[in-house]
Each structure stands twice: as structure tokens, then as C-alpha cells.
Amino acid sequence: MWAKSDREKDEGSWHPLIAHLLDVAASAEVILEREPPKTLELYARDLKLEPQQAKAWICALAGLHDIGKASPAFQQKWPEGKERVWATGLTWSSDPTPPPDDVSHSVISEAVLPELLEGKGWTPRAAQNVAAAVGEHHGFRASQKNLDDVVSKERGKGVWDEVRRELFEAVLEVLEVGEAPQVCIYGGAAFERLAGLTSFADWIGSSLDFHPLGNDLAEYYRNAKARAAQKLDSVGWFERESLMPEPQSLEAVFAYLGKPNQPFKARPLQTVLEGLLEGVDKPALFLVEAPMGEGKTEAALYAHLRLQAANGHRGMYIALPTQATGNLMFERAKAFLGRYGASRKLDLQLLHGASELVDAYQNIVVRPNAPSEGEEGVGAQVWFSHRKRGLLSEYAVGTVDQALLSILPTKHHFVRLWGLGNRVVVLDEVHAYDTYTSGLIESLVRWLKALDSSVVLMSATLPKAKRESLLRAFGAEEWEEEPYPRITRVIKGNPRATTETFAARPQPTLTLKRARLDLEDIKEKALEQARSGGCVACIVNTVQRAQDLYRALVSNPDGVEVHLFHARYPLEERLQREQTVLAKFGKEGVRPHKAILVATQVVEQSLDLDFDVMFTDLAPVDLVLQRAGRLHRHARSPEERRGHTKPVLWVAGLEEGGVPDFDSTERIYERYILLRSWLALHSRTQIDLPCDIDRLVQEVYSEPPPQGLSVEWKTALEQAQARMDKRDSQAQDEAFYAAFGDPCETDWLEAPDPRKLPDDEPNPDDDPSPPKTRKGRPSATVVLLHKVEGRLCLDPDGQQPVSLAAKLELAEAKRLFARSVKLSRHELTRNDFEALKAHRESQGLAAKVWSETPLLAHAHPVVLEGGCAVLGELELELHSELGVVYRR
């Protein structure tokens, strides 16, 4: 029986099926031996066996994932292998379905394993469950139709049954599995743990060199373990150990953040969390609600150290709302882990679509067979940079989308989920998501609890209903309503949550002033504030408003420098502008004498910026407060403030009388929330921080409208709320059905409907609607190319010609990806990207440009002539200062 062949090299070498089964079983065992002991305890709990016997069974099951290769359907696929099998007398009278329509060996594995397992004493339902878990190692569950297609001519019968039983018994004998476990069902977290480990072990086992089988299977297995260990070493998957086995104080852990005459001192939030961590020896959830600048990030990192030591967690994943916030957190996580790099090798990945362009990440990437050029002990092994493997890394920072893909029916979602299991998962800015994504996050929290992970949720502004939903997702049923700021702890198995409050640092009271939405009014007021010196922020709700306001400001006669920052720049330019903004307005930046930053929501989250005066378009009140957190964020002298000794927040849109019309802002934010935010802020002249943060958020999101409103206002609110409730209800339903299953339910264990499940790496021409981690308007990734004298180039001067080959080298792919930008304009995305496809055809480009280049497979080329391109009803211009500009 052959399992693998060297057909590409045409050398006729091959690998016996029994050898491959043992390779994968051995890989699974080495993986488990490098995992913290807690991981094996979880498998033992799943099977209700002692750890060593449980390990034997789990590894055997992982090895048996390919027993379906002992079938006519598979053995027909390599002519030389088929001839050798036939020469032994092992034949078939009825030809199986030939490739490419042949029945997958993974489906045959799922079909034949239950009977073999039942013969060893497994209960029928549990046997079916584990067969499904190991059978989905190619990415998706088999449907009932797939299983019905496994007829005798595909699987073989008679002597084929004997061959499979011989292989089955051989694996069990080598692994010394002992008696079968007596579990009635194998579902929930147990199912996902087995599926994830099986695929991981199969990837490792399949990468081992062919090795002579010999006559002693036990000896072969011992050699396979040694080769699997070498392979795991080579990809950077080392033993998972606690970074801080013995508790240390916060001051000791973060001493590296101190300055010569200013040692690190724990803030009240961090001290309270330290107390709540005492005695916690089970997975736990910590919900941290506190204003900006209270040290939530350091608190989360410290919580990881304590929870890892107490629970045997394998590592940490930090999930953020955007790529920009992920980039900044990556720097902080790298500095934190650098403290432990001298004693052991740590792997730290940056997981989002643009990580190839982030220097801080690329500088520590360890290429195959090349030493790291980064800090000793902190590297980023390239093997984990593949999107499906990223969450297997011990430490990673990325977007929340990477974590949410683990609970959506995407290819190999269970590998991602396995990577998040028995781990500390930090979700920052949990208030920043819409109803749909928030529903997915609740499902993710339920799965993390089931997988014995600990969770740290962080937010500055969280509505009451969202807070309670997150607590319930981790099993809390009752809690005290303590005042804001607060930390709430839920320990797995204990329905009663514990909440403690603390004193936030005193912050200056914000003076609140009203401005009109008219850009001319904002321009005049902003220049007036900057004219005599100081750093002013103007945050508007759309890129169009940002571009128009920048145009109005940039040629001012007062010598005020003006900067523009939004998301509609090519990727490399956006990253450069982000660094410029941080260099000028960040904590350690060299502040200009007088400057204005015009920006959109990209500065709203996690960017450590500090302004003297701020103008903001009216937005939901929690986002207004987020923006205001960049006002007088750091202590500075009056001289540095250029006379702006008190923080002033101007809100554009509060000056309008009657029921306001928010125009384009309503395409971004719910009208009802905007109206409630207007009512909450309109009559105020100041905001007291931090005490008004929670008060305002609950007023807008949780409390009924104020009394005494006019009929016009009541009608407007009722209509807006009805529309919002309808959309929210639909979004909640979509989020509920989007996730593949609930860990506490069993219906999802049944074979799925016979339909093509979506892949998480679609080509837009083939699959325009993969599972979504977020709602909102669809977007298209476009690569902006210049046509210069008939050639396509990256630059308007024609110095950087590009290739349109389907498969590109990584360096060339990165060059192109750096010029990409995400566009959500409806003229570009409607009718399945009709305008972009028509443009591609008009330029004579192939239907699937770069289709075999993962970084660009879903990108659309847009050819600029004279800096512009006409796409249906829309003209698109790439402006050197404004970014992408639209004109009808």
C-alpha cells in the first residue's frame, strides 16, 4: 500500500501507507510532548482516561486519518503504485471513479473508521464523531452526500476490509492503546481538539523525508518521533514553557519601562488586577473597563504571565480591531517578550494581510535555513506566517478577524481553533465592533471557555447590554454593578462574577464647544486655534470630508503645517503617514510649533497621539470619547502646549437647531445612536473625565430618551430606533448562524448539508461571498498601476515596471501589494465588482491576474493613465497628497 510517491521527481520512490500513518501518529505525540502538561490533561478528560493512555489513543486516531488510502479510489491514482498492489493479488473488479472526480480518501477514512473503532469497544456515536474529526484533515467536513458516495467500488470490500483492519490493528499495537474509552459522544471542544491536532500532525508528518520501513514497526515509530522532533525544531515549534513560573510583582515585570529617575510604578488598575489574579487556578475571563491611558495593555500582559503559570496555558494571542493598532501592539509585545528571549527561543507572529510590509515584523522573520537577524530569542519563523498556521505560533498579535475565522466554516478553521485553545486570548477595544461582529465575538468567547482558554477583554467605553452578553458567554450568571472604571472576573465553573472598581488617574475636564458641520466653519476655527501655536486635530467621518478640509487648510497664510491621514492611500504610503503622525504627535514625537492633523477614524483607536485642541464630527458618543482621549493625553508644560492649558473639544454638528440631518455620516453610523449622542452632548459645556465616560455611554445606549422632547424629536427617534432594531435583529441572527456550531450543542456534529463550504482564501471571480468577520459595505482590494509608454509600472515615471504573471516571487508580490488600497465605493463593488472587471477587460488583462500568488490572488489591477482611471460611472485619481480621489 502506498501513501505518497515522488512522482514529480520521477524517481519512482514511494512511502508505504503504514509508514505514513505512523509518521503522523509520531508527529502528534511529539507535539503533545512539547505542549504544556495541561493540554494532555484536556485530551485525557475528553476520553475519560489516564493521560498516558489518552495520549496513545489520540496519537493513534491522528495516525489513522489516512486509512481511507487503503482503497481502490486512492490506490488507482499512481499507475506504478497500482501495478504493485495488483501484483499482490489485491485488485478490483469494478473500476472506481477516476480522478478528478474520485472519492476523497479522507471521506473514505470517515466512512470506514467507525466500524473498526466499534470493533475495539468504542460506542457507535463516539466512533462516528472521532472519525469525522480526523477525516476532515483536508479542511472541511464530509457531507452526507460525500459519505453516501463511498460505495464498495470506491472503498473496496472483502480483502480490502481485511487490509484496513490489519493496518488499523498495527497502528493500535505500536501505540499500545489499551482498552477503548467509554465515552458516549465525542463533541464540542473534544472534537475540535482532535481535528486541529490531526491536521497539524499531518502537516508535519507529511513533510518528513521518506524513510525505510524495515521489519520492526515499533522501531520505525521511534525513528519517526526523532525525525518529527527535528522537523518541529526546524520550523521553530519548541517546548511550551511558562515565562514566569514563580509570581513576580508588576514593578519587577515591567521594570524595563522605567526611566533612570522614574522607575515603573503600577497604576491602580494594574494593582487591582494583580489582586484578582491571586488564587486563580482555572481558566478565567477578565473584563477591563477603564479610560484611555490607565495601563490596560500592561495589565493584560501581566495577566497572561500569571494565568499561563496557573493554568498551563501555551501562549498568547492579542487581537485588535485594525491593522494599524495591531502594528503598534506588535512593537509592545516584542519589547515585552524580549525580556524572556535570553533564556529560550520565542516565536512572535504578526497576523494580518499587510504584515509583509511591516518592518518591525520583517526584521525578525527567520527564513528557512537562515539565522535570525533580530533580537536573540525573539523571532518570527516563516513557517507560521502562512495564514492557516499563524495561530499555531506560541505568541502572536493580529486583527480580531484572524481569531473569528476559527469559528466560521472556513477551510481548516479547527486548526486556528486548536491554536487558540489552552491559551490566553486578549481582545482589545471590544466596543469597536458592530452588532454582527460583536455576536461573533460572543461565540468566540464561548468556544474559548470550552477549550479551557483564559480571556482578557479590554474597553474604554462599553454599553451595558454588550458587557452583560460577554460575561454570560463565559458562564457568568450573576454579578454586582460596581461603578466605572472596573474589572470583572469570571472563573470557569463559577457562575458568580467578581467586580472591583479602582481610582482612575485624574484628568483635566474637557471644555465642550459647538461648531457647524460646514467645513468653512471648522477651517476658520481650527486655524484660529493653531495660529499662535499648538497641535490641533480635526477628525471627520468620511475621507471625502478629510480631503476637502485638507484642501481648504493646506495653503493657509499663517505658516501652520497641515497633515492628512486616512485609509484611502496605497498601503505603503498609509504606513509611512502613520509613522509621520506618530513622529509629530505621538508621546515621544518632536511636536511642531503649530500644526493641524486632518484625519478620519484611523486615529480613533490605540494610536498614542496627543493634541492640544480637537475638532471632531459628531459620532456615536463612545467614539467621540475615544477621540477625545487624544486630547492632553500626556503631561506637558504650558510652553509645550503653546498656551492651550485646558483641553478643548469642538464637536461639529451640535450647533444645528431642530432634529439634525447627519447626511453621509448616517451611511457609517446608526442614525438613532447619532441622535441620542446629539441629545447627550448638545446642552453640555464640559465633560468630566473619567466619571462622565460610562455615564454618557449608558445614557446613549442603555437608557430611554429624555423626557420633554418635541413631537418632531419623538417621531425622529421612534423611526430611527425601529430601523436600528430591525438591522440589529438581522445582524444578530446572521452572527448566530454564521458560526459553525456551539460547543454546548451537538447538532453541528452531524454531517453538514451537501453544499460547497466556502474557503477563506477566495478569488473574487470564483467566490465573491466568503464567510465574513464583519458587516458593512463590501470592499475591493485594488493595485494601482501606471501606464507609461504602453508599459505597466508602479510609478508614474515608468522606472518600476511590473509583471502580470499568475505566479510571482514573494519580493515582486510585496512590491505590488505595497501599492494596493481597499476601496468600498459602491460603483466599484456592486454587481460582483462589475466595473473593475470591465476595466480589466478594457485593458486586455487576464481574467485571473496573479491568481497563483496568495498575497495578490484577490486583488484587482487598476490601470492609471495620467494618474486617472475611469471605472464605469466613476473617475478615480491617485493624488500625491490626497490619496485616492473619486469624481463622478
Condensed to tens digits (0 to 9), the pLDDT of residues 525-544 reads 999 999 999 999 999 999 99
Q: How many CB atoms lie within 10 A of CB 812?
A: 16
Of 207, 736, 194, 228, give the one whose Cα is nearest residue 415: 194
CA distance linking residue 384 with residue 812, whole number of Å: 21
Judge if 59 and 170 occupy the same domain: yes
Claim to verify: residue 375 and residue 426 sit in the same structural domain: yes
Q: Are 450 and 187 in contact (CB under 8 A)?
A: no
- The whole-angstrom separation of Cα 109 and Cα 164 is 10
Please state, in angstroms and rounded to a whole number, the distance separating the CA atoms of residues 394 and 378. 11
pLDDT above 60 (res 808): yes
**Separation between Cα atoms, residue 577 and residue 599, nearest integer Å:** 11
CB atoms within 10 A of CB 68: 26
863-883 burial, b at 16+ Cβ within 10 Å, e below that, comes to: bbeeeebebeebebebeeebb
User: In terms of C-beta density within 10 A (0-12 exposed, 13-18 middle, 19 or more buried), how is residue 138 classed?
Assistant: middle
Give a yes or no: residue 738 inside a domain: no
Distance CA 534, CA 527 (A): 10
Question: Nearest to residue 816, comparing CAs of 805, 802, 795?
Answer: 802
Task: Encode pLDDT of 581-620 as tens digits.
Answer: 999 998 888 899 999 999 999 888 767 899 999 999 999 9
CA-nearest of 72, 82, 65 to 132 is 65
Residues 35 and 108 sit within 8 Å (Cβ to Cβ): no
Q: Region 804-824: what's the mean pLDDT? A: 89
Q: Per-residue pLDDT for 456 more than 50?
A: yes
pLDDT, one tens digit per residue, over 152-176 is 899 999 999 999 999 999 999 999 9
Q: How far apart are CA 566 and CA 882, in angstroms?
A: 9
pTM: 0.91
DSSP summary character for residue 343: T
Calpha distance 672→664 (Å, rounded): 14
Q: What pLDDT is stored for residue 141 in this prediction?
A: 86
Instruction: Select from 676, 664, 680 the least CA-distant residue to 540.
Output: 664
* Cβ neighbours of 577 (radius 10 Å): 18
Rounded average pLDDT over 374-401: 84
Q: What is the pLDDT of residue 368?
A: 60
Name 513's bridge partners: 650
In a domain, 57, yes or no: yes
Cβ burial of 732 (10 Å; 0-12, 13-18, 19+) is: middle
3-class state of residue 821 by DSSP: strand
| pLDDT at residue 560 in the model | 95
Q: Quick check: helix, strand or coil at residue 259?
A: strand
Mean pLDDT of 382-411: 91
- Confidence label for 769 from pLDDT (cuts 50, 70 and 90): very low
Counting beta carbons within 10 angstroms of the beta carbon of residue 197, is it exposed (0 to 12), middle (13 to 18) or buried (19 or more)?
buried
Instruction: Based on the fold, state whether residues 340 and 434 are members of the same structural domain.
Output: yes
Is residue 247 in a domain?
no
What HEC string does 642-674 produce? CCCCCCEEEEECCCCCCCCCCHHHHHCCCHHHH
Q: What is the identity of the amino acid at 454?
A: S
| Distance from C-alpha of 94 to C-alpha of 278, rounded to nearest angstrom | 67
Q: Does 772 map to a domain? A: no
**Tens digits of residue pLDDT in 428-452:** 999 888 999 999 999 999 999 999 9
**Three cell numbers, residue 807:** 505566479
Q: Determine what percent of the chain is predicted with pLDDT higher than 90.
A: 72
C-alpha cell at 223: 525513528
Q: What is the pLDDT of residues 225-269, one digit of tens each?
A: 999 999 999 999 999 999 999 999 999 999 999 888 889 999 999
Helix axes 17-34, 159-175, angle to 10 degrees: 30
Burial-class residue 288 by CB neighbours within 10 Å (0-12, 13-18, 19+): buried
Gap between the Cα atoms of 567 and 305, Å rounded: 35
pLDDT band per the 50, 70, 90 thresholds, residue 380: confident
Least confident of 15-19, 365-369, 720-724: 365-369
pLDDT band at residue 375 using 50, 70 and 90 as cut-offs: very low
Q: What is the pLDDT averaged over residues 697-720?
A: 95
Of 682, 703, 724, the one marking the end of a domain is 703
Q: What is the pLDDT of residue 753?
A: 58
Examine the domain organization and report whether 341 and 465 are in the same domain. Answer: yes
Rounded CA-CA distance 333/358 in Å is: 15
- The pLDDT-based confidence of 11 (bands split at 50, 70, 90) is low
Q: What is the pLDDT of residue 832?
A: 86
CATH number at residue 211: 1.10.3210.30
pLDDT at 767: 33
Q: What domain range is 794 assigned to?
A: 780-887
DSSP run (H or E) holding 787 = strand 780-788
Distance of alpha carbon 460 from alpha carbon 623, whole angstroms: 10
Cβ contact 432:462 at 8 Å: no
Least confident of 77-86, 711-720, 850-859: 850-859
Q: Which residues are paired to 673 by β-bridges? A: none
Give pLDDT tens digits for 483-507. 999 999 999 999 999 999 999 988 8
182 contacts 126 by C-beta, under 8 angstroms:
no
- If asked whether residues 587 and 639 sit together in one domain, one would say yes
Write phi, then psi, for 14 (nearest 5 degrees).
-150, 165
Question: What gap in Å lies between CA 268 and CA 500, rounded to an integer?
Answer: 11
Report in angstroms the alpha-carbon separations of 315 from 286, 394, 438, 455. 17, 5, 24, 12
Cα–Cα dist 617/34, whole Å: 52
- Given 670, 703, 736, the domain boundary residue is 703
262: helix, coil or strand?
Answer: strand
| Cα Rg of the chain (Å, integer) | 29
Q: Is 763 inside any structural domain?
A: no
Residue 623 lies in a domain: yes
Please indicate whether residue 857 or residue 765 has the higher confidence score (pLDDT). Answer: 857
Mean pLDDT confidence for 703-716 = 94
CA distance 106 to 116: 15
Q: How far apart are CA 420 and CA 403, in angstroms?
A: 8
- What is the predicted pLDDT for the residue at 136? 94
> Is residue 734 classed as helix, strand or coil in its secondary structure?
helix
pLDDT (tens digit per residue) in 320-373: 998 878 888 999 999 999 888 767 789 999 998 888 888 888 888 886 644 444
- In whole angstroms, what is the distance from residue 550 CA to residue 542 CA? 12
Whether residues 525 and 486 fall in one domain: no
321 and 418 part of one domain: yes
Q: Maximum CA pair distance of the chain?
A: 94
On average, the pLDDT of the chain sits at 91
Sheet of 686-687: strand order equals 561-565, 594-599, 534-539, 613-617, 648-652, 510-515, 686-687
DSSP conformational letter for 865: B
Among the ranges given (66-70, 277-281, 314-318, 586-590), the one the predictor scored with the smallest mean pLDDT: 586-590
Q: What is the mean pLDDT of residues 460-470?
A: 93
Determine how β-strand 284-289 pairs with β-strand 486-491: antiparallel
Taking 3-state DSSP, the helix, strand and coil percentages for the chain, each rounded to the nearest 5, stand at 45, 15, 40
Residue with the larger pLDDT of the pair 327 and 197: 197
Instruction: Say how many domains are in the chain.
Output: 4
Whether 461 has a pLDDT exceeding 90, the answer reads no
593 with 458, same domain? no
Q: What is the pLDDT of residue 547?
A: 97
Domain check: are 211 and 270 in the same one? no
The separation between CA 716 and the C-alpha centre of its own chain, rounded to angstroms, equals 38
Would the pLDDT of 459 be above 50?
yes
Residues 700 and 621: beta-carbon distance below 8 Å: yes
Given a contact cutoff of 8 angstroms between Cβ atoms, the answer to whether 45 and 37 are in contact is: no
Give dist(CA 24, CA 411) in Å, integer.
Answer: 20
Q: What is the CATH number of the domain that holds 374?
A: 3.40.50.300
Residue 764 lies inside a defined structural domain of this protein: no
Task: Report pLDDT for 614.
Answer: 96
> Does residue 369 belong to any structural domain of this protein?
yes
Q: For helices 571-585 and 323-338, give the axis angle rounded to 10 degrees.
A: 60
Same domain for 493 and 520, yes or no, is: no
Could you tell me which of 550, 640, 543 has the C-alpha nearest to residue 591? 640
Give the mean pLDDT of 824-841.
91
- What does the pLDDT read at residue 761? 42
What residue ranges in 244-283 does DSSP mark as E strands? none
Q: Which residues of 301-321 are buried (b: 16+ CB within 10 A; e: fewer)?
A: bbbbbbbbbbbbbbbbbbbbb
pLDDT at 777: 80
Boundary (domain end) residue, out of 463, 479, 501: 501
CA atoms within 13 A on the CB side of 372: 23
640 and 517 both lie in a single domain? yes
Q: Same domain for 146 and 188?
A: yes
227 near 208, Cβ under 8 Å? yes
Nearest to 349 by CA among 816, 407, 430, 358: 358
